[in-house]
Structure 1
Amino acid sequence: MEQTFDLVVIGTGSAGAATAQACREQNWEVAIVDSREYGGTCALRGCDPKKVLVGAAELVDRTERMIGKGLQDSVRINWPDLMAFKHTFTDYIPGAHEKKLKDAGIHTFHGHAKFVSEDTIDVDGHRLTGKHILIATGAKPAPLSVEGEQYLANSDHFLNLEQLPSPLVFVGGGYISFEFAHIAARAGAEVHILHKDEQPLKGFDPELVQELVQRSREIGIHIHLNTSLQSIEQLEGEVAADSQPSGAEQLTKGTANQARYMIRANQQDGEQGNQELRLECGLVVHGAGRVPNIMDIQLDQGKVEFGKKGVHVNEYMQSVSNPRVYAAGDCTDSPGLPLTPLASLESQVATHNLLHGNTRKPDYRAMPSIAFTIPKLGAIGMTEEEARKLGDRVTINTFDTSTWYTYKRTNEQTAMAKIIIDTSSRQILGAHLLSGEADEMLNYFAIAIRLHLTIDQMREVLYAYPTPASDLSYMLKI
């Protein structure tokens, strides 16, 4: 079967669906394809369901901090109940998402999209020819090439566990591992993180990361630095090989709580040299980075150039090698961070350029990044290392805010802020935050940097008091 469209979109996440709908509103004939449930990573198996679990973990943490300071009894997470609550946010999305697209007059397809020529893709026998094609396939866990890699769970599996196994081992020291580790630890699991380097959470301020690592260890998370995973072995006698469910089913159903694994890792110790670390656990979760999800769509057939970082795009989000093709989000090699707001920004740019010609470029200034650990870790703008190279032109204000009223009133033991200010323009160049309020506070700095506000303008604002925002005037001084 062959059909022709003005636009064919591959991927139904935040980047793909928005462009499809916007072009359809301009009476384009639009088709959209996904090999998985409609809705994309963020809504179904990423940011949104994760934040539901984080919310419960935050309540546990906040209650524990206040024991003896007005509260008497602690609370516990009931994992099956929490997961049932999470499902109320995700289960309806695929159907509702597809219905919305269909109601708009968009042709929906399920299956694996593969280029067969510069303007045509095949979807399980359906040939879809597009005047334009948008690739918005996101990212997937990076291959680790270790023995027993087939036993690795990933973020999808963790967010669908019916029971929480213990111990849990998270491979990689990025935000996925740390966020899930904090959730699992507050839910009562024994938790380990393996990270191959000295500093985890690359991209965040090292001093604040060090504070978060210390706090993580205080709540019982075992963080093994300079440690590389070597192998995963499923132990005999727990689940018979011929009776196991496979893939995601095995890792999310009750068998995940019965199966046991032995991981072996190489731990580098400066004084004692290399040592082998062995851990027996109930689940090993991949948190060691993601790669563009483009390797199975036959880009070569579409004459779409790509590399390790994704589809090669120009400043208009257009393929550098096939002008019919645009791409947005985590599947591109654009300078944008692999975050949902950046995918949405690139989608808006691609939409504009598809409809009106290449006249708009993404503005990547002020890209806020947040790790939803407990406390939260946030970053935006210039790093301290970058600022130091500018000499006297900048002031770096570093505060231990744990004694400030905002955090002391809930007995928050770990809270820091580092604000980088241009002394000549009096504008904010960067902000790095560690606290329970870091996510919302980061948004104030995003506004200031994006709109070129000075510290004087920020301090002129009358903020409600006492609120976290009312602390801004103390942070913005030269």
Structure 2
Amino acid sequence: MQQFDAIVIGTGTAGKSTAEQLHQAGKSVAIIDKLPFGGTCSQRGCDQKKILVGASELVARSGRMRENGIATAARIDWPELIRFKRTFTDPIPEKTEQQFAEAGITAFHGTARFIAPNAVQVGDTQLQADHIVIAAGARPAPLGIPGEELLTDSSGFMELEQLPNDIVMVGGGYIAFEFAHVASQAGAKVTIVHQGERPLEPFDPDLVKLLVKATEDMGISILLNAEVVSVAGEPGAFRVGIKQQGQERSLNTSLVVHTAGRPADLLDLDLDKAGVDYNEKGVAVNEFLQSPSNPAVYACGDVAEKGLPLTPVASWEADIVAANILNGNQQRYTETAVPSVVFTWPDLATVGMSEEAARKSGKTIRVSFSETTDWYESRRINEPISGYKLLIDEDAGLLVGAHLLGVGSDELINVLTLAINHKIPVESLRTTLFAYPTRASGLASMLK
């Protein structure tokens, strides 16, 4: 059995950062991954998605400006776009493995399974360590329907050599909407099937309603209170069984994409053999991101029960885990406002409290909400719809929640995140002179 100071399971943002910090501090480190090294974000998630989103935004914006100064709308060449995307993603596994080798981190390809509280097995190799860090990421949620194996997941969608003419997205979260906007701007007919009453449930319902309208105006069909109950057929000719409000019907489509959520990837780990507790959110951890049931084990990133499944959160949690392994449990996980963005056209962004949570908090809440489609920043690009909702604690004079819809929301939400986390008074925000004309220059009007 090979002995290390620490074993890290997963080579994504959380795992790679933890391993590097531990090794730099003089620890012997092994790192394991069953997938190509580099993790989801850089190869199969947010980074490459944003490349596709960027292209679709160019098409959308040029199309909106037809007859307003732009003579010809842009068009997506899908094979060329995927080729460009691969210039970012293809080198990552080899580059990541090379970085581990140069740093002196011992890398293993394969599925890690616990065989004891402080030991794992990869293939025929057994490894033991004082500390084991689980950073295995997430996986597509099982749907439990006939024909589930016929679905393409989000990774597969972003590897398509050709984009089909018609696509069904199963699920109504941010991945479904982002992919739907990308595919629609590339010329596909898209249907989103969501089992809930409203899509994008973590986001502000009033702004979601506006985004849904803009999405439908693009020609994307959104079926709510609808459940996919079966998929049959073959590539290019699928039949999707749907149950909606007690009625069953079917959709014919060329491609069915699984966008119905990604739970923690725990299935292969044999956590019970390590005495590691877990739940539907992921590995159960305490304030130090340590397993209470097995102190040798820590967890960070999407696989841990705390925090949002976002890359910056994974990186932040990796810092906490590394510090606690190196210095004893001194650095605590503390709740902080973390922004989240749906990269559609236009963008939908949120940070802090929802209106419902703010009203239940006992604070005296003022809600500033308006549609801003007729504001200059929207009109100059012929933006289809935009708006905002800001939640203000009147007694404290502080912003407690911010929700934005419109081009530039992905950047402005960062300013408002800073304001919430560092308790910048609303009056200071309102009287700050921002560059004009920008989305931030409208803050004074939003905060009145």
- Fold match (TM-score > 0.5): yes
Mapped to 1, the partners of 2:129 and 2:443 lie a distance apart of 51
User: In structure 2, what is the equivalent of residue 386 of structure 1?
Assistant: 357
Which secondary structure does the structure 2 equivalent of 1:87 belong to? Answer: helix
State whether structure 2 residue 422 is matched by structure 1 residue 423: no
State whether structure 2 residue 239 is matched by structure 1 residue 262: yes
State whether structure 2 residue 404 is matched by structure 1 residue 405: no
Kindly indicate whether the alpha-carbon contact (under 8 Å) linking 2:363 and 2:393 is maintained by their aligned counterparts in 1. no
| Residue 181 of structure 1: how far off its partner (Å) | 0.4
Mapped to 1, the partners of 2:436 and 2:176 lie a distance apart of 35
Mapped to 2, the partners of 1:64 and 1:361 lie a distance apart of 49
Q: Deviations over 1:374-408 (max 9, x none)?
A: 11111111111122335771111012111111111
Which secondary structure does the structure 2 equivalent of 1:19 belong to? Answer: helix
Kindly indicate whether the alpha-carbon contact (under 8 Å) linking 1:345 and 1:362 is maintained by their aligned counterparts in 2. no
State whether structure 2 residue 424 is matched by structure 1 residue 453: yes
Which amino acid is 1:190 matched to? K
Kindly indicate whether the alpha-carbon contact (under 8 Å) linking 1:294 and 1:310 is maintained by their aligned counterparts in 2. yes
Q: How does 1:24-423 map to 2 (within 5 A)?
A: 24-235=23-234, 256=235, 259-268=236-245, 274-334=246-306, 336-389=307-360, 393-423=364-394
Which secondary structure does the structure 1 equivalent of 2:350 belong to? Answer: strand
| Residue 167 of structure 1: how far off its partner (Å) | 1.1
Mapped to 2, the partners of 1:208 and 1:423 lie a distance apart of 22
Which amino acid is 1:137 matched to? A
Q: Deviations over 1:234-279 (max 9, x none)?
A: 15xxxxxxxxxxxxxxxxxxxx5xx3111110011xxxxx222211
Which secondary structure does the structure 2 equivalent of 1:141 belong to? Answer: coil
Task: Answer with 212-221 or 358-367: which moved more.
Answer: 358-367
Mapped to 1, the partners of 2:360 and 2:280 lie a distance apart of 30
Mapped to 1, the partners of 2:305 and 2:437 lie a distance apart of 43
Q: State the identity as a percent.
A: 46
| Residue 462 of structure 1: how far off its partner (Å) | 2.7
User: In structure 2, what is the equivalent of residue 271 of structure 1?
Assistant: none
Q: Deviations over 1:59-90 (max 9, x none)?
A: 00100111111111112111000000100110
Supply the RMSD in Å over aligned alpha carbons.
1.1
* Structure 2 residue ranges without an equivalent (≥5): none
Mapped to 2, the partners of 1:431 and 1:53 lie a distance apart of 27
| Residue 309 of structure 1: how far off its partner (Å) | 1.4
Q: Deviations over 1:160-182 (max 9, x none)?
A: 00001121000010111111000
| Residue 438 of structure 1: how far off its partner (Å) | 1.1
| Residue 434 of structure 1: how far off its partner (Å) | 0.7
Q: Deviations over 1:349-392 (max 9, x none)?
A: 11111111111112321111111111111111111112233577
Mapped to 1, the partners of 2:360 and 2:81 lie a distance apart of 47
User: In structure 1, what is the equivalent of residue 439 of structure 2?
Assistant: 468
Which secondary structure does the structure 2 equivalent of 1:127 belong to? Answer: strand
User: In structure 2, what is the equivalent of residue 243 of structure 1?
Assistant: none
Mapped to 2, the partners of 1:35 and 1:414 lie a distance apart of 43
Which secondary structure does the structure 1 equivalent of 2:192 belong to? Answer: strand
| Residue 440 of structure 1: how far off its partner (Å) | 0.5
Mapped to 1, the partners of 2:344 and 2:433 lie a distance apart of 30
Runs of 4+ residues over 3 Å off in structure 1: 389-392
Over 3 Å counting, the alpha-carbon distance change for 1:13 and 1:305 in structure 2 is same
Number of aligned positions between the proteins: 448
Mapped to 2, the partners of 1:55 and 1:286 lie a distance apart of 22
Q: Deviations over 1:139-189 (max 9, x none)?
A: 101100001111011001001000011210000101111110000000000
Mapped to 2, the partners of 1:430 and 1:380 lie a distance apart of 6
Over 3 Å counting, the alpha-carbon distance change for 1:142 and 1:390 in structure 2 is closer
| TM-score computed with the length of structure 1 as normaliser | 0.92
Mapped to 2, the partners of 1:15 and 1:56 lie a distance apart of 28
Kindly indicate whether the alpha-carbon contact (under 8 Å) linking 2:377 and 2:439 is maintained by their aligned counterparts in 1. yes
